[in-house]
Amino acid sequence: MKFSLLILDDEPMVCNSLRRILEEEDREILTATNLKKAREVLQSEPIDLLLLDFKLDSTDGITFLKEVREDFPDLLVIMITAYGNIDIAVEAMRNGAYDFIQKKEEPDFIRYTVSRALENLRLKKEVEELRRSFQLESPLPAIVAFSQGMKRTLYLAEQFAQTDSTVLITGETGTGKNLIAHYVHLNSHRFNRPFISINCAAIPHELLESELFGYEKGAFTGAHQKGKKGLIEQANGGTLFLDEIGELSLDLQSKLLHVLERNEIYRLGAETPTTIDVRFIAATNSDLQELVDQKKFRLDLFYRLNVANIQVPPLRERKEDILPIAKQFIENFNKKFNKKVHRITVEAENFLRSYYWPGNVRELRNMIERAMLLNRSGILKMEDLSLNPIDVRCPEPPSDHAQFKVLLNPAKGENLLHLAQRQLIEQALEIAGNNRSRAARLLGIPRTSLNFYIQKYGLKE
Ligand SMILES: Nc1ncnc2c1ncn2[C@@H]1O[C@H](COP(=O)(O)OP(=O)(O)OP(=O)(O)O)[C@@H](O)[C@H]1O
Ligand SMILES: [Mg+2]
């Protein structure tokens, strides 16, 4: 851990001699001989420790001590007092100074006092990070994996966890992408450092940039706000999970690419970069390749993210997992709702196994939760398993009988693939009675992609 120190004393001689005494490899030492300079440094640099002379020309040290305690509550302050002036030292400590040193003190003693303060700071930072990573994140639920598909997913996650490379997790909504991202983090050497996750779709574009990159004091006109660390910096030493990466604007995509390539960020309003040590995991349920084709996603970023790809299979493709996951949810909700459900009827089991699960594990979880809330008999029956009103509109899996016919009369210069695509989409919409979710499922593509094609070909339902 590298520390930055600022010495504020109006005598340059004192600044220089203290600097010589305190100089060490892992310390950056800055000096200021007046308040204006000191304020500038504090606002533009992340200073850990301020050595503050009690007797300044323009004001007394205690007034300035109060000011910095207010503006930079995490900053450690050591007061420099004249020899034998213990009263002032006591007052300084009462006002939040961490310690004091007296001028003309033995250099060894000064060194010792400063090292002790920095050691204390280092421990505090470590404890804070540990606490954040273990407390803020709810414990990871056991990941059920009986199917080959899910076993392979976990195997890949464990392998990638050993490296520091960027991981891209893809899969339909509700398949467990967040869970896998956290699993990668916990299996990596960063497990006891922060795991910070941000949903790119949930935050307006204008705010997302400052959330991610942070900003310097005064980066926004008219505001007197303090500088702020962004999420990337907060994840330092740990993992940053960028959920719904497909929603990132092109502008932020190029900034993110820079971060991934250089391991450095520019806070908003900053002229110099800050080095970072963060593992990135991204997830999406959209087809990034398709977004690349639409020029909505940068190809170079796609390549950079796609170094290690984990595809989480949809629930319908890993039927062996359905009942074990359902049983895990039943156990959880038994505890949560104080119920005693101990069995599922054969009919209900068959339904769970054969249902299409467009909302995947999340839908399964919701269905079990609803069923258990109502259940009195201790046995989960078919009638308990009502579908969510949204699902009711399209509960059935795609019909095996749905047949598509494509008729093409090749003409010079025509893109046959596009013509075929257009016909397939028109037919799917027709078969699905214009229900886009269902049509998308018939076509085996995400609904968002279908929307895109409908727009692209100017189709009317
Ligand atoms: N294999 C599994 N075993 C147990 N629980 C699971 C499993 N997979 C997913 N879940 C649970 O299913 C729910 C949805 O998972 P998660 O939020 O990770 O999905 P997601 O793919 O990130 O969804 P979205 O695309 O909507 O963001 C969570 O409650 C999660 O704990
Ligand atoms: Mg998610």
Q: Give the nearest ligand 1 atom to 172 CA.
A: 25
CA of 363 to the centre of ligand 1 (A): 9
326 touches ligand 1 (CB under 6 Å): no
Q: Could you tell me which residues are beta bridge partners of residue 281? A: 167, 241
> Which residue out of 362, 364, 366, 448 has the highest number of ligand 1 atoms within 8 Å of its CB and is therefore the one to mutate?
362
Q: What is the residue whose two structure tokens read 């919701």?
A: 366
What residue type is assigned to position 240 of the chain? L
pLDDT band of 394, cuts 50, 70, 90: very low
pLDDT for the residue 81: 83
Q: pLDDT tens digits, residue range 35-71?
A: 999 999 999 888 999 999 988 777 788 889 999 988 8
The answer to whether the 3-133 and 316-392 domains have the same CATH topology is no
Dist CA 429 CA 442 (whole Å): 9
| Homologous superfamily of 148-311 | P-loop containing nucleotide triphosphate hydrolases (3.40.50.300)
173 touches ligand 1 (CB under 6 Å): yes
**Total residue length of the chain:** 461
User: Which of 36-40, 216-220, 276-280 is most confident?
Assistant: 276-280
Mean per-residue pLDDT of the chain: 87
174 touches ligand 1 (CB under 6 Å): yes
Q: pLDDT tens digits, residue range 167-179?
A: 999 999 999 999 9
324 touches ligand 1 (CB under 6 Å): no
265 touches ligand 1 (CB under 6 Å): no
CA of 361 to the centre of ligand 1 (A): 6
179 touches ligand 1 (CB under 6 Å): yes
pLDDT at 25 over 60: yes
pTM value is 0.60
Contacts 24+ apart (CB under 8 A), 233-236: 233/265, 233/267, 233/274, 233/276, 234/194, 234/196, 235/194, 235/195, 235/196, 235/278, 236/193, 236/194, 236/276, 236/277, 236/278
Q: Report helix angle 360-374 to 319-337, nearest 10.
A: 40
Q: What is the residue whose two structure tokens read 């459900």?
A: 341
Closest alpha carbon to 55 in 109, 119, 103: 103
Ligand nearest to the CA of 175: 1
pLDDT at 392 over 50: no
**Mean pLDDT of the 445-460 span:** 83
Q: What is the residue whose two structure tokens read 């497990």?
A: 191
Domain spans, the chain: 3-133, 148-311, 316-392, 398-461
**Mean pLDDT of the 203-213 span:** 88
Q: pLDDT tens digits, residue range 340-369?
A: 999 999 999 999 998 889 999 999 999 999
One CATH from 3.40.50.2300, 3.40.190.10, 1.10.10.10, 3.40.50.1980 for 3-133 = 3.40.50.2300
Q: Give the nearest ligand 1 atom to 283 CA.
A: 22
pLDDT for the residue 90: 84
Query: Considering only 133-147, 165-179, 332-346, 360-374, which range has the smallest mean pLDDT?
Result: 133-147
Q: Domain 398-461, what fold?
A: Arc Repressor Mutant, subunit A (1.10.10)
pLDDT for the residue 82: 77
Nearest CA to ligand 1 atom 29: 362
The CATH code of the domain at 316-392 is 1.10.8.60
Nearest CA to ligand 1 atom 23: 174
**CB 333 within 8 Å of CB 289:** no
Nearest CA to ligand 1 atom 18: 176
In this structure, what token pair is assigned to residue 27?
A: 């310390």
pLDDT at 164 over 80: yes
pLDDT for the residue 302: 96
pLDDT band of 401, cuts 50, 70, 90: low
3-state SS class at 188: coil
3-state SS class at 88: helix
In this structure, what token pair is assigned to residue 237?
A: 């030493």
365 touches ligand 1 (CB under 6 Å): yes
Q: Which helix (H) or strand (E) holds 214?
A: strand 214-215
The rounded percent of the chain whose pLDDT value lies above 70 is 91
CA of 323 to the centre of ligand 2 (A): 22
Dist CA 100 CA 249 (whole Å): 50
**Mean pLDDT of the 266-284 span:** 94
Dist CA 314 CA 353 (whole Å): 13
Dist CA 396 CA 35 (whole Å): 72
Nearest CA to ligand 1 atom 10: 176
Q: What is the residue whose two structure tokens read 């004001």?
A: 59
**Cα 278 from chain centroid?**
11
133 touches ligand 1 (CB under 6 Å): no
Residue 4 makes CB contacts below 8 A (sequence gap 6+) with 27, 28, 29, 30, 45, 46, 47, 48, 49
Dist CA 300 CA 428 (whole Å): 33
pLDDT band of 237, cuts 50, 70, 90: very high
